[in-house]
Structure 1
Amino acid sequence: MSGPPQLDTALVAALADFAAHDRVLVATDFDGVLAPLVVDPMDSRPVEGGMPALASLADLPGTTVALVSGRALDPLRELSGAALDGPLVLIGSHGAEDSRAEGGLALDDDQQALLSTLDDELGTLREEHPGLRVEDKPAGRVVHTRGLPEDEAQAALDAARELGARHTSLEVTPGKGVVELAAAHVGKGVALVALADEVGAEAVFYAGDDLTDEHGFEALADDADADRAARRLTVHVGDGETQARFRVADEQAMVALLQALLDARRAATAR
């Protein structure tokens, strides 16, 4: 029986350096980082060990832990198992929802009307591309094509992007087998930087796997303060090009990373 995945020695050293700061923000995406990507998004479940490690990190002094996801808050909370009044901050809908905010997301009349129009047009799109699934979110809709043959999936994604382009006020965000069409959008990068500033984090860790996470990596690195930018530790999960400083292979390796980070943070805060 094989042991836990081995982490790169440079990554282990970077985790130790990060953990030594007095106040830190530890943030991760959910799908593709803590939970494997699946055909039906509501079948997603975190791999063993990841969520407990995050909860344990959140219990340590000077440590803020956040899930930053494209999912809406309610399914993010349900699927991750994060407690309603627990220590984890949940940032949903690519930054447009925050678990700490009263009342959730508020859309104006124009945005509500746009979503109604979008629902009608997506109904037509489903008729044209059988097997396409549409996820309802408070601020938008997400077209899912996982499980479709590659040529059919690409045609459906192209059609969804064209639909989004017809409505210039929609924010169109492509991902792995998905296109999100949002009437209200913040972006993971903006949300991460704002959260780090809000909690006074001296150092930030962020792990993600998708195109939307690249915006987070870019925003954290794009800082006029070079010293602060150097204290932002980013990790890409899986294959593909990335702007992240480090990479791990999959969700199991991410669990090993979080356990290493937890051990380093416990040692640092015990001093």
Structure 2
Amino acid sequence: MPLSPDLLAAVEAFAGRPTLLVATDFDGALAPLVPDPSDSRPVEGGMERLTELAALPGVTVSLVSGRALRDLAVLSGATPEMVLLGSHGAEDSRHREGLALTEAQQALLAALDDELATLVEDHPGAWVEHKPAGRVVHTRRMDPVAGPAALDAASALGARHTALVATPGKEVVELAVAHVGKGAALLGLAEDLGVDAVFYAGDDVTDEHGFAALAANDREERAARRLTVRVGDGETAAQHRVADEHELVEVFQALLDARR
């Protein structure tokens, strides 16, 4: 399906800025959602277009994901020129020392593991993904009718442990002891790089935080130059929308053509 004239015009205007940050979520934006996250792979052409963009003068490409940084790097096949922000911004590929947790945070994760083991027993089909700064309860393999109860139980754990940050998503709830958030991560990266404009695409609740943060950026000139794209349906604060991951690849191609 051809991109809308409004989106194409926005891409043309964005591509003409002197320095750009082109950032995107991974799951649900660059790679289709699948029952087993370890099976996730980018759609054809997605990483290829991003690699070409990253090679252009004045362009920085970033993948921004809730995934652990190591998993994001392996599954995406990102090149060293790209900046990877994992664990919702708590991990940054530019900082090789990794994520350091305090003793209190480590103890909280250990206690959380015990409680999540009980949760999984009580909600068959739910499973827990381990990340450096937290745990994620997944229900994508469960009966759709039973899944919400498991997510509610996970959210209740987050409410009980006030030091945790609970982040809901599509059939997931993440419980983290260290949290930055995609919005803050995007703004921080844009400031570090000193770029003139930021592109961001995503499909989930956490990506909406990114869209909203870019729109409310204290740097008003940068906020006015942003280009945000929601992938898929649902209410959104993004300026534009595409149907799926394949249409997002078309946006990358249009951006590449315009920038060249």
Query: Please, what TM-score do these two structures have when normalized by structure 2?
Result: 0.98
Alignment of structure 1 residues 58-77 onto 2, 5 Å: 58-77=54-73
Letter matched to residue 211 of structure 1: V
CA distance in 2, matches of 1:165, 1:199: 36
Amino acid at match of 2:120: R
The separation in 2 between residues aligned to 1:124 and 1:159, in whole angstroms, is: 10
1:216 corresponds in structure 2 to 210
1:151-208 CA-partner distances (Å, limit 9, x unpaired): 2100100000001111000000000000000000000000000100111110100000
1:44 aligns with 2:43: no
Q: Alignment partner for residue 20 of structure 1, among 5, 9, 16?
A: 16
Partner Cα distance (2:192, 2:76) in 1:
24
Query: Hey, which bits of structure 1, 4+ residues long, moved more than 6 A?
Result: none
**1:166 matched residue in structure 2:** 160
Q: SS at the partner of 2:146?
A: helix
- The reply to whether residue 132 of structure 1 matches residue 139 of structure 2 is no
State how far apart, in whole Å, the 2-side matches of 1:244 and 1:69 are: 17
Of 11, 14, 26, which residue of structure 2 is paired with 1:30? 26
1:90 maps onto 2:84 in alignment: yes
Distance in 2, Cα, partners of 1:120 & 1:45: 31
Structure 1, 161-170 or 223-232: larger mean CA deviation: 223-232
Q: Distance in 1 between matches of 2:183 and 2:217?
A: 12
The alpha-carbon deviation at position 102 of structure 1 amounts to: 2.3
Shift of 1:225: 4.2
Do the aligned partners of 2:31 and 2:41 also contact (CA within 8 Å) in 1? yes
Paired residue for 1:261? 255
Question: 2:56 corresponds to which letter in structure 1?
Answer: L
Q: 1:192 aligns with which of 178, 182, 186?
A: 186
Separation in 2 of the partners of 1:225 and 1:63? Answer: 19
* 2:140 partner SS: coil
Deviation sequence 1:107-166 (CA, Å, 0-9, x none)? 000000000000000000110011111000000000000021122100100000001111
Matched, 1:243 2:237: yes
Aligned to 1:121: 115
Rounded to whole Å, the distance in 2 between the matches of 1:223 and 1:45 is: 32
Rounded to whole Å, the distance in 1 between the matches of 2:69 and 2:221 is: 33
Q: 2: CA distance between counterparts of 1:48 and 1:65? A: 18
CA distance 1:87–1:225, change in 2 (3 Å)? closer
Question: C-alpha displacement at 1:239, in angstroms?
Answer: 0.4
Given that 2:30 and 2:245 are in contact with CA atoms closer than 8 Å, whether structure 1 keeps it comes out as: yes
One-letter identity of the residue aligned with 1:33:
A
How many residues align? The count is 260
Quote the residue 1:55 is aligned against.
51
| CA distance in structure 1 between the aligned counterparts of 2:177 and 2:17, rounded to whole angstroms | 38
Q: CA, structure 1 residues 106+225, in 2 after alignment: closer, same or farther (shift >3 Å)?
A: closer
Cα contact 2:215–2:223 (8 A) shared by 1: yes
1:223 offset after TM fit, Å? 2.6
SS of equivalent residue, structure 1 residue 54: helix
**How far 1:228 sits from its partner (Å)?**
2.3
> What are structure 2's unaligned runs of at least 5 residues?
none
Is contact 2:229-2:239 (8 Å) kept? Answer: yes
Please give the alpha-carbon distance, in whole angstroms, between the structure 2 residues aligned to 1:88 and 1:227.
25
- For 1:185 and 1:75, locate their aligned partners in 2 and report how far apart those are by CA, in whole Å: 18
From 85, 92, 96, the counterpart of 1:102: 96
